[in-house]
């Protein structure tokens, strides 16, 4: 036993030291960081991205080592309350509502909190933790996400930390599932299976999913499982699982039109029927006459009221204000135009690009989602995580750079009024757009050279 340990140490000592250093930094991030301390946050993130790169570089063919490291990093966060996001308070609130047989799509927290007999554990602490904004709006989290919230309320022992731990375990298991199906899909597409660790060990993924309890990881588990089933020609079960992905987060809805050019007509109709039927079955327990109106109202606010870490929108806003435009009027107008542009781009990629094979389909998804984020007025750091996973299955790597540069947007968290630093955001997007243009040029030239030869 001792000889084996000694031999293992000699073979992997540098990688083990890198892992130990990462554990220390993640522990500092989880238990000793206030989001107002931007310099410390930035320093930790830079160091963690460097260590991530070196660990994958040294051990990219050692699946067990990388999987073990990723799991250990996640377990570091297990007992920590999220320190960069308040959203988890609303998650637990919604879960408590369902646990008490109340529909979270029908009740505003600001109204419920006035009730004397409110049967929600830790109600006042949860309400205060949400901040000023969330209590004013109906819940906008899809039904399957709500069921996870209710599970955390059921198993959380009526404590906030208990519910946090339950949600965190679900997210960790989902990330392990992403690795499992992601490796299978990479092999199916004749790509190196170690590439999945650019997702699994990415510090942004760890910090925002395991650390801050965003449920993109659960959505991506179902999403990548669905794509794997499609690669195996199990498209019926793939459709069902794809619907589950949408019912955690709505983002995969964007890609549904692409299947018009991926399947033949009869198969496409059946695929959409299964997706639609599964979604409806999950929506039915929450249905009421007010459901759609409340949900549409809340989702619409994200397009027309909020702005954070925007790229193109910030440029348009700067020009518009120079011509005496009113910012609050501009965001509402822009919010009405953005969905139209997005839908147009989706159909352009559907009908002007060949999406028959899965490689082309995933690349179309990557660019559609990237364009959507480029024009969106709100791009929270955890949004980039979907791009990170899609990138793994393509020839492009700009979203990996984006996952590092988006850390600059955390500056706003250090400000009492969440005011953004436009200089830092400009640096972020110059890096992203610059590398994207470089990749588009290089890859096009390589293809042209290959065709000539």
The percentage of residues in the chain with a pLDDT greater than 90, rounded to a whole number, is 75
Which sign does the torsion angle of CA 68, 70, 75, 76 carry? positive
Q: Model-level pTM greater than 0.85?
A: yes
pLDDT digits (tens, 9 = 90+) for 275-334: 999 999 999 999 888 888 888 777 776 666 778 999 999 999 888 887 777 877 788 888
Candidates 214, 228, 248, 138; CA nearest to 186 is 228
pLDDT at 356 over 80: yes
Q: What average pLDDT does the structure give for the chain?
A: 91
Alpha-carbon gap, residue 213 to 207, rounded angstroms: 9
336: Cβ–Cβ under 8 A, 6 or more apart, which residues?
303, 304
Strand intervals (E) in 82-178: none
User: Is 215 in a helix, a strand, or coil?
Assistant: coil
**How wide is the angle at C-alpha 259 spanned by C-alphas 258 and 264, nearest 5°?**
135
pLDDT digits (tens, 9 = 90+) for 82-125: 999 999 999 999 999 999 999 999 999 999 998 888 888 899 99
Q: What is the mean pLDDT of residues 267-274?
A: 96
Please give the structure tokens belonging to residue 115.
Answer: 């009730």
If you compute the radius of gyration of the chain from its CA atoms, what whole number of angstroms results? 22
pLDDT at 445 over 90: no
Q: What is the DSSP string of 373-393?
A: HHH-SB--GGGHHHHHHHHHT
The pLDDT assigned to 450 comes to 41
Candidates 209, 248, 245; CA nearest to 229 is 245
The percentage of residues in the chain with a pLDDT greater than 70, rounded to a whole number, is 95
pLDDT digits (tens, 9 = 90+) for 386-423: 999 999 999 999 999 999 999 999 999 888 878 899 99
Q: What is the mean pLDDT of residues 426-447?
A: 87
The pLDDT assigned to 302 comes to 65
The pLDDT assigned to 8 comes to 63
Q: What is the DSSP string of 48-75?
A: HHHHHHHHHHHHTT-HHHHHHHHHHHHH
The pLDDT assigned to 452 comes to 45
Residue 3 pLDDT grade (very low, low, confident, very high; cuts 50, 70, 90): low
Q: What is the mean pLDDT of residues 144-168?
A: 95
Candidates 179, 167, 168; CA nearest to 389 is 179
Residue 210 DSSP class = I
Q: Which residue has the higher pLDDT, 4 or 392?
A: 392
pLDDT at 2 over 70: no
Q: Of the ranges 117-131, 192-206, 210-224, which one carries the lowest mean pLDDT score?
A: 117-131
Candidates 260, 226, 217; CA nearest to 350 is 260
pLDDT at 374 over 60: yes
């Amino acid at each position: 036993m001792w000889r084996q340990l000694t031999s293992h140490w000699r073979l992997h000592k540098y990688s083990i030291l890198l892992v130990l250093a990462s554990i220390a930094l993640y522990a500092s991030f989880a238990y000793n960081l206030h989001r107002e301390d931007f310099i410390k946050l930035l320093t930790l993130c830079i160091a963690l991205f460097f260590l991530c790169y070196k660990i994958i570089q040294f051990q990219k063919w050692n699946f067990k080592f990388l999987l073990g490291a990723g799991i250990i990093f996640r377990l570091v966060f297990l007992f920590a309350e999220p320190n960069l996001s308040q959203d988890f308070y609303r998650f637990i609130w919604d879960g408590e509502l369902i646990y008490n047989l109340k529909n979270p799509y029908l009740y505003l927290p600001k109204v419920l909190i006035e009730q004397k007999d409110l049967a929600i554990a830790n109600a006042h602490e949860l309400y205060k933790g949400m901040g000023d904004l969330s209590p004013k709006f109906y819940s906008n989290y899809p039904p399957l996400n709500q069921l996870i919230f209710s599970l955390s309320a059921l198993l959380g022992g009526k404590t906030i930390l208990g519910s946090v731990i339950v949600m965190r375990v679900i997210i960790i298991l989902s990330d392990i599932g992403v690795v499992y199906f992601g490796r299978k899909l990479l092999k199916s597409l004749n790509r190196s299976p170690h590439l999945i660790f650019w997702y699994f060990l990415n510090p942004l993924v760890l910090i925002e999913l395991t650390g801050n309890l965003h449920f993109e990881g659960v959505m991506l588990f179902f999403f990548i499982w669905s794509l794997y089933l499609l690669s195996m020609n199990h498209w019926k079960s793939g459709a069902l699982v794809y619907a589950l992905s949408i019912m955690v987060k709505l983002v995969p809805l964007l890609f549904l039109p692409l299947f018009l050019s991926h399947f033949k007509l009869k198969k496409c109709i059946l695929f959409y029927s299964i997706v639609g039927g599964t979604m409806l079955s999950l929506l039915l327990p929450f249905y009421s006459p007010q459901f759609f109106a409340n949900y549409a109202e809340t989702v619409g606010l994200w397009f027309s009221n909020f702005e954070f870490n925007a790229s193109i929108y910030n440029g348009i806003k700067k020009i518009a204000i120079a011509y005496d435009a009113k910012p609050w009027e501009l965001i509402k107008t822009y919010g009405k135009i953005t969905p139209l542009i997005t839908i147009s781009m989706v159909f352009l990629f559907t009908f002007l690009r060949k999406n028959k094979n899965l490689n082309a389909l995933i690349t179309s998804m990557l660019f559609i989602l990237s364009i959507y984020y480029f024009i969106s007025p709100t791009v929270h750091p955890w949004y980039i995580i979907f791009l990170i996973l899609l990138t793994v299955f393509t020839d492009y790597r700009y979203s990996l750079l984006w996952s590092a540069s988006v850390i600059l947007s955390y500056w706003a968290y250090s400000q009492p009024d969440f005011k953004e630093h436009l200089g830092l955001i400009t640096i972020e997007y110059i890096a992203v757009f610059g590398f994207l243009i470089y990749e588009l040029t290089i890859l096009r030239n390589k293809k042209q050279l290959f065709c000539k030869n």
